[in-house]
Structure 1
Amino acid sequence: MEPASPSRRARIAAMLALLAVAAVVAAGLVAHHRFPDVAPPASETEFDTDRAWTHLERIVGEEPAPIGSQNSAEVRDYLVEHLESLGLETEVQQDVGARTFRTVAETGRVDNVVATLPGTDPTGRVYLAAHYDTTPTTPGTTDDLQGVATILEIARVLAEREQPRNDVVFLLSDGEEPGLLGAEAFAEHHPDAPDGGVVLNLEGAGNAGPSALYNTSSGNAELVSEWADTVPYPAGESGFAALWAEAPFNSDFTALEEAGFIGMEFSPLDGRAYYHHPSDTLDNFAPKTLHHQGVNALAMADTIVDRDIAELRAESDTTFFTVFGQVLGYPGFLVLPLALLSVAGVAALAVLTRLRARVNVSHLLGGVLTGLLAIAVSMGAAWGLWQLLLQVRPGYAGMVSGDPYQPEFYRWAILALSATVAWAGYFIARRRLREEALVVGALLWPALVGLTLAVALPPMAYFGTIAALAASTGAFAAWRAGAHRPVLRCALLATGVLPGALLLTLSGYIITTVMGIGLGAAGALCFAMAALLVAPLVSMAVPASGGPRPILVPLTAGLLTAALTATGLAVDTFDEEHPYTANLYYVLDADTEQAVWASDSSRPHAWAADYVTDERDPDPLSIPAPTRSNPAWTGDAPALSLPAPEIEVADTRTGDGTLTLDLVLHTQRSAEMLILHLDRPIAEGTVTVPDLPATELSEMEAAGDDAAEWPYEVTMHNPPEGDVELTLRFTDEKRPELGVSDVSFGLAEVPGYSERPDGVVMEPAGGGAPTDSIIVSHTHEW
């Protein structure tokens, strides 16, 4: 820790230590990508990937299979036929599901496929779940038909084995994509739902890479322990599971957990560009990923089907992460003490440098500021890199996931860019500040991040806590070794920074994988802290004098960033196999008989730009249109002669300062969506369709001050040919403004419309009005 220039021997030791750290980190990244190739099963009662793939080929069509479609019905019938052939008790739960997302209540008619393998002495039920509907923009190979195919094969295996202790239920839900409707219908109306159970939910957030444990119910300690001890090829981190739980992401598991179920979710997480994408096809999905999903899911199911279900419900969570294929972690009750200990360790190091090395307070504060600036600038630079890529490759704006088709080189570019910024800042500060102060500053921020997360998001605190705790211990040991023993000193420093460098780099890589290059700044946070951890070793290898010029380090990293970015641009090009995406839909105001083409894309593809020629103000459309449509561009369109959806106020009741409306809605053109629009939120309500029980609607949140003219919606997906009846209660007696719209898929009937050219496909569904849809709108007059 002394400021004297290291000797040549010290420089060599530092370089070797850096190489050792880099080699271990690189090996960890390689191990993260490694998972088993497809192998034939050892027996008939093992997971057979070929059989699962055969199911996948059968249920994946060339066209999407959204809720209520003919394609979806064909998939449903196949599932029922196969599960019945296994001798399972199989039913189709026809019902209405509903879920409110802040200001929007999603409802819809669903057909859940539910099959049961009875247990010999059940303590509860084990559910294997996936959804068989897709969005209107994708064949849904990975989201989520691969999960369905996996469950069909697991059902065969378990049916052929000795009868398990617990009941096993195979829940293949409908209507997950528009709003978790099948899961909500199951949780609210199925007679087995009140008993709860353990759910293993198989999802499809990406189309490549290993199947990772990416979400758990709270109180996961026993389940995580079983998973860590059981699955042959584990992958997953509690940090991402916690982040997923707090983010506005939802799956069927969300609804089931709220209903009292416990469990886990598994999904491949790489290949996010294909999420809801028309190219999410069999050709773009690897059997290897299906194999990993199936082998791990079967192993987990195989264990818990014979466990006492009550014992799997724990009071605490476990912090866990996977390194070199091994699950490591610690109990939840240690999260805060370890975080505090890491801060105390850095504080002790600061006191030591102040007293023993005579580093003044201003230098320590300068070191802290240097670390903060390095992290902040790295994150800003990662954001700037994406903006640059958007300028060079405007088609990236149409990648809803924020990830290109082949993002690998861009991920490494963000890592190199973060190192460039961190090391440049460190070397510049080294001219004026003592090295010991910079070390303290580099370690303080991981410690503070860990402490903050220990309070706000405990399962995610580990990467900051472990990094700071290990590195401060290593730095203290290196100081004790002294500058006269450079080899030992470098070895101790390297040993200290290694855990943090490995975990932070892995975490940054996983974050950029899941969140995309567009949100690469989140990954840069981890990458920058990793670069700061190893900066003292870099500084020892490249001293201020007596060795290579220090500017060569950030310069080399910067040139590497440029080379990786250029390679990414060269590799990731748009073509027929990696098509551009384009968003376009048609809106007809039936009251004025005026129509517009509309696109939500801020930078429409040239094909769409021929229809949408006028850039709009940020205000949404003033007519009632789905999901508070806010197109970025519009253009004049011919007005079709289409019947408007109907709305009738059947009854109005007031009392106790509230208003209750009975409404009847009807689509006259067999649309796929029927939507009620309001200017005020509902307090509660019910939705009823012919031949099915009424379903409750929960309270809506109040919209913000910048709310659109029609901020509240009740949407019926897969509406019946007959009427949709709504009973809605409001918290005062003022009559709301009412509008109604319906949505059908396909634009072929609009005069002047031409199909997309080769190499251009629909933009993946990601919120907003559905692309390639016709929307007919009508405003009710009181």
Structure 2
Amino acid sequence: METVTSTETRRPLRDDTKKSALLFNMIVAIIIGAIVISLLQLQSPKVVSSDSATTEFSAERAFSHLKEFAISPHPLGSKEHDRVRDYLVQELETLGLTPEIQKVNSLNLPRTWVAGGTVENIVAKIDGTNSSKAIMLVAHYDSVAGGPGVADDGAGVAAILETVRALKENKPLKNDIIILLTDGEENGLLGAKAFVEEHPWVQNVGLVLNFEARGNEGPAFMFETSDNNGWLVKEFVKAAPTPVSHSFIYNLYKLMPNDTDLSVFKEAGLNGLNFAFGEGVGHYHTTSDNLEELSKESLQHHGEYMISLTKHFGNLDLTEAKKGNQLFFNIFGSFMITYSDQLVIPFMFIVVILFAITMVHGYKRKKLTIRGTLGGLLVNLGGLVGSFLIGLGLWSLLTFLYSEKQWILGTNNTIGTTYLISFSLVVFAFINILYRLTNKKAKVGSMMMGALLTWLILVVVTSILLSDGSYVFTWPLLFALIGVNIWMKLEMDSWKSHLVIVGFSIPAFLILIPVIYLIYMLASMELASVLMVFVALLGSLLIPIFSTLKIKTNWVMPTEFLTVGILFILVNSITIHNMPTSEHQKASDISYFMNEDTNKAYWVARHPLDDYTSNYINEDIKKGNTSEFFPIIKWDVQYAEADHYNMKAPSVTVIKDEVEAGKRTIEYLLKTNRQAEEMILQSVSKLKVSQLLINHKKIELTKKQYSKDEPFLLTYIVGQLGEVNVQVTVDANDSVEWIVADRSYSIPEIKGERPVEYSTYGDNSFAMRTIRE
């Protein structure tokens, strides 16, 4: 580390503590103001009442549909599913359309397994006056088995119905409008797969607008586009009244193991945009995804996108060749910045050149040295690692102390946001202390440029490897470098220099704060360690302030940050003690497993035992993995032995078993003996599968070789039919062994009523047996 020379000797801060305190308060006010402005973009539009003009979209009118069809779980294959299907068909007919039901035995390979079921897509069309290609509005009408699916994806379906009604009241559009309410999305994107493979209208689709939800509130944001999105993004920004979108989030989404119907449409070569709201993730796929919990503002945002984009694209030529990609992000409220990804590398070089100029400028003014800057880089990297560990350590401590309420910690928006703020304050205290200590051994300019060198590395890496997200680092660094050049001309610890530093850090807060919040919203505080690295990056832009501004002593500022942060943590933790409540629910689940091979059955709970699940698991409680007694499922659970309830495992009938040309073809009929909704087939032995037919439909496997550690897996929704035909061709010398199981969306005995302060992903029962050749 460099030695601070006499020319760098700091003039003591003004003895007038009031002026120092005033300056500190001004800086805090500027930062808070920038944060508030940055979050203004994350707002949903106001709800339009049912008394509004008939040409407008009204969330209240859309909500009236939800009250009719999203009142209980309606998964694929259930009787309630059929009622919902019939209601939606009737409503489309009432709106003057001629809907059809596309009934297909659909098979898909979502990831590493085969998913299947007989889906019933609802398809309709509004003819255009002179169509180039069609705009297709998509939402899935099936729900998970555990909840009524009001947000996921009833909100999307209801918004489509209201959008169709409003469109019929407006002037006709040039392009056709296809309405596609997909089925079986929750079971492996089955409806979307059926449409692209077998429906003739797929050839006429020019643009897909898909609507989803991963929570029950918050702004609906456009989080995914098809490739070559340049034209789409430009037109999206023109048309959407209150757009919320960040291409950095899209980059992250591509790295996550999540899919929606749009994934299937993109694979089929269709252009599209994907929309979802995602706050309130604790309600996702649970019983609390209900009418009472849905935000009508989020529903209004869905509809605002639908009607504005449909009307806009409905009069454009959708056949034009679409080339190039755009970066896009909100900056002030609904104001968005977009530019071509072809500019990413040129912008990167501009920043690199400006960094070099700044280094020369600082060196000439004796504000930094090369060696000191490299030392500053190491210090800043240490700060990022320390911040990562702070986030990891605090979150690990909280989840340890509140292990029985970990679900609330990870999914409750109020709790999570408060912890996000408190952790950030602790990190700011840590960064403050770090740079006050290094200030005694190194020039502030060296420390600052070392930190900005970290940013420069991130700019170069993201520009090359993650171009859609490069703006997150490029523009904050560009403005920070301009600010540092001005700062170098000023007295280092003057009020002017501090205001210049905080002023030129504002772009970073405007860009990074929404990104931090959206990452938190998508992944929860489980990513606290990563989120704190972003917070530390923001803090590194304030190094001159952290290093030289003091109120009475050097330790007042970090002490205040740390005190407030810890206070927030303590208050939040006290709040958790009073949970769960009916407003802040806890996850509760119970499942029943029966293994016919061992003649044993178990009650199983994936979440900590509670007042309800203790009715089932209360004696000889064990902790372990379900694979210990039910090899086909791998959950970490608490469990206890249970009665049998005269439950039978699925029956297996061998219809055909033939060997020809070194290949063995076996045809099975798998049938549930207890009206279970889903059938599961998993290989146990080593197999080479050359051909597979499900209900006489062939599916092309991307993988042929299977082993005990990487088995073949099929999940098929048999619904009310209760059976599935499986024909598999393997090598003649393969030893054939399978586990056959069924899953019912109910349990064999209900012991009491689940309290209102608990929600559930649904209670299930499983029965299995092994079959061998």
Say whether the fold is shared (TM-score over 0.5).
Answer: yes
Q: Does 1:548 align with 2:539?
A: no
Q: CA separation of 1:702/1:318 partners in 2, compared to 1, >3 Å: closer, same or farther?
A: farther
Aligned residue type for 2:486: A
Inter-partner Cα distance in structure 2 for 1:175 and 1:727: 23
Q: Which residue in the other structure is 1:630 paired with?
A: 635
How far has the Cα of 1:523 moved from its partner?
A: 2.0
Inter-partner Cα distance in structure 1 for 2:414 and 2:381: 33
Q: CA separation of 1:322/1:92 partners in 2, compared to 1, >3 Å: closer, same or farther?
A: farther
Q: Does 1:775 align with 2:772?
A: no
Q: CA separation of 1:164/1:21 partners in 2, compared to 1, >3 Å: closer, same or farther?
A: same
Q: Which residue in the other structure is 2:3 paired with?
A: none
Contact 1:227 1:300 in 2 (8 A): yes
Contact 1:643 1:669 in 2 (8 A): yes
Contact 1:103 1:701 in 2 (8 A): no
Inter-partner Cα distance in structure 1 for 2:454 and 2:128: 52
Q: Which residue in the other structure is 1:128 paired with?
A: 137
How far has the Cα of 1:525 moved from its partner?
A: 2.2
Aligned residue type for 1:639: H
Q: Which residue in the other structure is 1:413 paired with?
A: 422
Q: Which residue in the other structure is 2:565 paired with?
A: 561
Question: For each residue in 1:109-139, what CA deviation from the matched residue of structure 2 results, as whole angstroms up to 9, or x when unmatched?
Answer: 1111111111121111111111111111212
- The residue correspondences of 1:544-623 to structure 2 (distance < 5 A) are 547-571=551-575, 573-601=579-607, 603-605=608-610, 607-608=612-613, 611=617, 613-617=620-624, 620-621=627-628, 623=630
Q: Does 1:647 align with 2:652?
A: yes
How far has the Cα of 1:516 moved from its partner?
A: 0.6
Q: CA separation of 1:502/1:258 partners in 2, compared to 1, >3 Å: closer, same or farther?
A: same
2:674 to 669, 672, 696: 669
1:520 to 516, 519, 528: 528
How far has the Cα of 1:19 moved from its partner?
A: 4.0
Q: Which residue in the other structure is 2:69 paired with?
A: 59
Q: CA separation of 1:678/1:384 partners in 2, compared to 1, >3 Å: closer, same or farther?
A: same
Q: CA separation of 1:536/1:701 partners in 2, compared to 1, >3 Å: closer, same or farther?
A: farther
Q: CA separation of 1:358/1:151 partners in 2, compared to 1, >3 Å: closer, same or farther?
A: closer
SS across alignment from 1:197: strand
How far has the Cα of 1:588 moved from its partner?
A: 0.8
Q: Which residue in the other structure is 2:241 paired with?
A: 232
Aligned residue type for 2:668: L
Q: Which residue in the other structure is 2:301 paired with?
A: 292
Inter-partner Cα distance in structure 2 for 1:401 and 1:199: 33
Question: For each residue in 1:495-551, what CA deviation from the matched residue of structure 2 results, as whole angstroms up to 9, or x when unmatched?
Answer: 322111321222112211221112222322221111111232333432xxxx53222
Question: For each residue in 1:583-616, what CA deviation from the matched residue of structure 2 results, as whole angstroms up to 9, or x when unmatched?
Answer: 3211111233211222333x44464356175444
Q: CA separation of 1:406/1:486 partners in 2, compared to 1, >3 Å: closer, same or farther?
A: closer
Q: Which residue in the other structure is 1:768 paired with?
A: none
Contact 1:588 1:777 in 2 (8 A): yes
Q: Which residue in the other structure is 2:701 paired with?
A: 698
The gaps in structure 1 that reach 5 residues or longer are 765-770
Q: Does 1:441 align with 2:450?
A: yes
Q: CA separation of 1:614/1:361 partners in 2, compared to 1, >3 Å: closer, same or farther?
A: farther
How far has the Cα of 1:234 moved from its partner?
A: 1.3
Aligned residue type for 2:552: P
Inter-partner Cα distance in structure 2 for 1:70 and 1:722: 13
Contact 2:662 2:732 in 1 (8 A): yes
Q: CA separation of 1:535/1:411 partners in 2, compared to 1, >3 Å: closer, same or farther?
A: same
- The residue correspondences of 1:135-174 to structure 2 (distance < 5 A) are 135-174=144-183
How far has the Cα of 1:562 moved from its partner?
A: 1.4
SS across alignment from 2:593: strand
Inter-partner Cα distance in structure 2 for 1:733 and 1:340: 61
Aligned residue type for 1:646: S
Inter-partner Cα distance in structure 2 for 1:448 and 1:215: 27
How far has the Cα of 1:310 moved from its partner?
A: 2.1
Q: CA separation of 1:702/1:270 partners in 2, compared to 1, >3 Å: closer, same or farther?
A: farther
Inter-partner Cα distance in structure 2 for 1:284 and 1:132: 18
Inter-partner Cα distance in structure 1 for 2:671 and 2:185: 23
Q: CA separation of 1:523/1:234 partners in 2, compared to 1, >3 Å: closer, same or farther?
A: same
Q: Does 1:208 align with 2:217?
A: yes
How far has the Cα of 1:639 moved from its partner?
A: 1.9
Inter-partner Cα distance in structure 2 for 1:390 and 1:738: 39
Contact 2:47 2:58 in 1 (8 A): no
Aligned residue type for 1:621: E
Q: CA separation of 1:472/1:106 partners in 2, compared to 1, >3 Å: closer, same or farther?
A: same
How far has the Cα of 1:143 moved from its partner?
A: 0.8
Aligned residue type for 2:451: A
Q: CA separation of 1:45/1:109 partners in 2, compared to 1, >3 Å: closer, same or farther?
A: same
For these two proteins, the number of residue pairs brought into alignment is 758
Q: Which residue in the other structure is 2:59 paired with?
A: 49
Inter-partner Cα distance in structure 1 for 2:128 and 2:338: 33
Contact 1:681 1:700 in 2 (8 A): no
Structure 1 range deviating more: 754-763 or 110-119: 754-763
Aligned residue type for 1:775: F
Q: CA separation of 1:729/1:339 partners in 2, compared to 1, >3 Å: closer, same or farther?
A: farther
Structure 1 range deviating more: 257-266 or 714-723: 714-723
2:41 to 26, 32, 44: 32
Aligned residue type for 1:716: Y
Inter-partner Cα distance in structure 2 for 1:635 and 1:288: 44
Inter-partner Cα distance in structure 1 for 2:46 and 2:405: 32
1:373 to 348, 366, 382: 382
Inter-partner Cα distance in structure 2 for 1:343 and 1:332: 18
Contact 2:675 2:722 in 1 (8 A): no
Structure 1 range deviating more: 230-239 or 406-415: 406-415
Question: For each residue in 1:44-86, what CA deviation from the matched residue of structure 2 results, as whole angstroms up to 9, or x when unmatched?
Answer: 111122211111111221x311111122211111110010111
Task: Report the RMSD for the aligned CA atoms in angstroms.
Answer: 2.9
Contact 2:106 2:119 in 1 (8 A): yes
Q: CA separation of 1:611/1:209 partners in 2, compared to 1, >3 Å: closer, same or farther?
A: same
Aligned residue type for 1:153: E
Q: CA separation of 1:681/1:274 partners in 2, compared to 1, >3 Å: closer, same or farther?
A: farther
Q: Which residue in the other structure is 1:767 paired with?
A: none
Inter-partner Cα distance in structure 1 for 2:729 and 2:330: 47
Aligned residue type for 2:598: T
How far has the Cα of 1:671 moved from its partner?
A: 0.9
Aligned residue type for 1:204: A
SS across alignment from 1:663: strand
Contact 1:673 1:717 in 2 (8 A): yes
Q: CA separation of 1:708/1:399 partners in 2, compared to 1, >3 Å: closer, same or farther?
A: farther
Inter-partner Cα distance in structure 2 for 1:730 and 1:345: 63
Q: Which residue in the other structure is 2:312 paired with?
A: 303
How far has the Cα of 1:246 moved from its partner?
A: 2.1
Q: Does 1:735 align with 2:738?
A: no
Contact 2:658 2:665 in 1 (8 A): yes
How far has the Cα of 1:413 moved from its partner?
A: 1.6
Aligned residue type for 1:587: F
TM-score, normalised by the number of residues in structure 1: 0.90
Q: CA separation of 1:732/1:520 partners in 2, compared to 1, >3 Å: closer, same or farther?
A: farther
Contact 1:624 1:779 in 2 (8 A): no
Q: CA separation of 1:406/1:13 partners in 2, compared to 1, >3 Å: closer, same or farther?
A: closer
Contact 1:666 1:724 in 2 (8 A): yes
How far has the Cα of 1:681 moved from its partner?
A: 6.7
Q: CA separation of 1:522/1:605 partners in 2, compared to 1, >3 Å: closer, same or farther?
A: farther
Q: Which residue in the other structure is 2:348 paired with?
A: 339
How far has the Cα of 1:356 moved from its partner?
A: 4.1
The gaps in structure 2 that reach 5 residues or longer are 1-6
Inter-partner Cα distance in structure 2 for 1:551 and 1:371: 20
